[in-house]
Amino acid sequence: MVTQANRTQMMRALFALREQILSGEFRPGERMSELPLVERLGVSRSPLRLALASLEHEGLLRVLPAGGYVVREFTQADIRHAIELRGVLEGTACRFAAEQGASRRDLRALREINEAVEPLVHRADYESFERYVALNAAFHERLVKMAHSPLLERTLDTVLSLPFATPSA
């Protein structure tokens, strides 16, 4: 049984490890040893194991035949496929939204986001870039929500958890 404390520790370990993997702190091919990770993250072994299994499910880790995990290496083809798959899923979300008829509120929200993005495109400062990234993500999230498909949302969330698959990657 997973207690609330274990769940909290698992989520903390999951977020920390995901960030450390994506930032390159853990190198592709590096073995993820439990005891050093338990000490490093300040969590128990059971929540750590759940976090590692979740990262394996996300595609960031690979299970070793003898047990344990290793940081997965991504090829250019992996990156290209993740981006293409995101495009296909977002295209499907747009089709679902169009078939159901988008509400005026949703269309207005998309228009407002687009208008806010327009002046940022030609700026080269960090704040403008950060704002662009946030607005771009909001635009894509709104499109997917307009599809009214929880299955599509979950599938896209899985793809977006892969490196280089986010809209602003």
* Collapsed DSSP state (helix, strand, coil) of residue 63: strand
Q: What is the pLDDT of residue 109?
A: 96
pLDDT mean over 40-69: 91
Q: Predicted confidence band at 16 (pLDDT cuts at 50, 70, 90)?
A: very high
If you average pLDDT over residues 106-119, what whole number do you get?
A: 94
pLDDT at 117 over 80: yes
pLDDT at 130 over 90: no
Tell me, what's the pLDDT at 110? 95
Examine the pLDDT at 52 and tell me if it is beyond 80: yes
Instruction: Tell me what pLDDT residue 39 has.
Output: 95
Residue 57's pLDDT is 84
For 64-82, how does the pLDDT look when each residue is reduced to its tens digit (9 = 90+)?
998 889 999 988 898 889 8
For the chain, the average pLDDT equals 89
pLDDT band at 90 (very low <50, low <70, confident <90, very high): very high
Q: Is the dihedral of CA 150, 156, 159, 165 positive or negative?
A: negative
Record the pTM.
0.67
Phi, psi of 92 (to 5 degrees): -65, -40
Residue 147 sits at φ, ψ, to 5 deg, of -75, -20
Q: Do 52 and 20 form a contact (C-beta atoms < 8 A)? A: no
d(CA 41, CA 31): 16
